[in-house]
A = this chain, B = another copy of it.
Amino acid sequence: MTLALDISHLLNASDPQARSQEIAALRNLHPSDIAEALEESSAEPAQMVEILNQVGNHKAIEAFAQLSMEMQQECLEEGKSQTMLRFLENMEPDDRVDLLKAVDADVRETIMPLIAQAERNAIRKLWHYEEGTAGAVMTTEYAMLPKYLSVAEALEKLRLQAPNKETIYYIYITDVQRQLLGIISLRDLIMSKPSAKLEAIMETNLIRVPHEMDIEEVAAVFSKYDLLAVPVVDKDTRLLGIITVDDVIDIIEAESTEDFQRISAVLPFDEEYFKRPLPRLFWSRFIWLAVLLFTSLISTTIMEMNAAVLNKMMALAFFIPMVMGTCGNAGTQSATMVVRGMALGEIAIGDLGRLFRRELVMGLLLGGALGVMAYFRVFLQDRDIMLACIVAIALVATLLTANLVGALMPLVLKKIKLDPALTAGPFIATIMDAIGIAIYFQIAFLLMKFF
């Protein structure tokens, strides 16, 4: 399905015919594909802007909007102000604010006064919403009509309003204070009698989100109600903007990627894998591996403290990978299920008690079953009842602990406003390893004294 075009000729061809052929090929592409071709080429920002200038105004604007934020930023900082101004004024308001926040303050201050008044107002409105909230991802471009219009009048108004609005599949009915009264889908509008009044056909049982709602929750609302767009309102239900489904897909994918990165102990990053420069990729990984290496030394210290026990029964060392591994795996299972359940809105902080009971039972069942298996494995190979007992009891105890910690920690982190996905990651697993080894040696020590 990739339609990416190799545009290397465009960059350094002296042959004008080859150039014009490639430009013609580019002009036929979807804007997203033009953006992809540019991203995958080695074009400098200045060259990109020059190429975009040749693919037609509408496509250039759309293609620019599809470039990655880093590319947009480089183009803007390059500073072909006339072209860039045109691109900026035609971007989606929410993307434009993100871009302007990312560029150098100098560049921003040069370009801001040149932007048309209407767009500058939109920028000001969106500037202060906190990242990760509904307000920060909403757009201020939507179709808004008063309730007393007829369907025919509404369609006429839309024809006048809509050329700049990609998002007219829902029409929002507001009063003079911009209070949201109702919503009509474009489908219902064209299905209705031309003489009907909007207030008679509008849906008043509204799905809407407050501007401070977390974007993960917004995504859950889209998924539950199968929406194409959702209105964002302030505390007096005044309409502030809308969030469209294409942004929601990007949000869902970005949030999942971030969770995957946290679970695998990589510092979250936005770029595609191959586009992340090696030194920065190194850093994203190294910092976590180094932290984990030092954390794992807790296990080393615990073993050193138990050197006497280990000296008496060296076979204990042989089963360390099994106890550590099983404990880590069970903890990761619980944590990942709970983190995912929270991301999808299936598990909330109020479910703490219910979750504790469920995972307590689960930990005992799993520990019991695996403990019995481990007992027979050790006994049949080593014919050593004490060793078998130590391994089996340690397995039950460590697994139960890991299971409960894994299940409950995400809720605790959520409560103290940290990302729950951190708990599904190796940091907790490494600490669990240390706890597991401590329990293992403690049980060995007690049983050896007892017999």
Contact = CB atoms under 8 A, between A and B. Distances in A.
A41 to B, nearest CB: 17
Contacts of A121: none
A91 interface: no
Interface string A245-259: 110111011001101
A contact patch SS: helix
A320 B339 CA distance: 30
Copies in the complex: 2
A116 interface: no
Nearest to A330: B289
A162 B358 CA distance: 48
A307 to B, nearest CB: 7
A158 B190 contact: yes
A320 B322 contact: no
A163 B319 CA distance: 67
A336 B169 contact: no
A219 B222 CA distance: 16
A369 B1 contact: no
A321 B437 contact: yes
A120 B328 CA distance: 51
B307 A321 contact: no
Interface stretch (A12-20, A72-80, A99-107, A290-298): A290-298
Interface stretch (A42-50, A176-184, A235-243, A265-273): A265-273
Contact of A213 (B1, B248, B289): B1
A246 to B, nearest CB: 4
A290 B325 CA distance: 11
A214 to B, nearest CB: 10
Contacts of A341: 272-274
Contact of A273 (B32, B163, B318, B337): B337
B324 A285 contact: no
B321 A433 contact: yes
Interface string A282-309: 1001101110111011011001100100
A213 B330 CA distance: 35
A141 to B, nearest CB: 13
A448 B263 CA distance: 38
Interface in A99-156: 155
Q: Report the contact-size class of chain A (Cβ under 8 Å from the partner).
A: 35 or more
B362 A260 contact: no
A326 B163 contact: no
A5 interface: no
Interface stretch (A81-89, A223-231, A411-419): A223-231
Interface centre among A159, A272, A299, A322 (most CB of B within 10 A): A322
Contact of A278 (B220, B252, B294, B361): B361
A344 interface: yes
A64 to B, nearest CB: 14
A366 interface: yes
A321 B303 CA distance: 10
A296 B127 CA distance: 53
B333 A274 contact: no
24 contacts: A1-B213, A30-B207, A32-B226, A162-B187, A162-B191, A222-B249, A252-B256, A260-B260, A260-B336, A261-B340, A265-B329, A265-B332, A272-B344, A274-B351, A274-B354, A286-B369, A289-B326, A292-B326, A293-B326, A294-B377, A303-B317, A310-B314, A311-B314, A325-B433
Interface of A: 1, 28-30, 32, 36, 155, 158-159, 162-163, 166, 168-169, 186-187, 190-191, 205, 207, 209, 213, 217, 219-228, 245-246, 248-250, 252-253, 256-257, 259-261, 263-266, 272-274, 278, 281-282, 285-286, 288-290, 292-294, 296-297, 299-300, 303-304, 307, 310-311, 314, 317-322, 324-326, 328-330, 332-333, 335-341, 344, 346-347, 351, 354, 358, 361-362, 365-366, 369-370, 373-374, 377, 424, 426, 430, 433-434, 437
Given A223-B249, A288-B333, A324-B324, 16 more contacts: A1-B221, A28-B205, A36-B224, A252-B253, A256-B256, A259-B260, A260-B340, A273-B337, A285-B333, A286-B370, A289-B366, A290-B370, A296-B325, A300-B321, A300-B322, A321-B434
Please give me the 3 A-B residue pairs with the lowest Cβ-Cβ distance, nearest first.
A264-B336, A299-B321, A226-B246
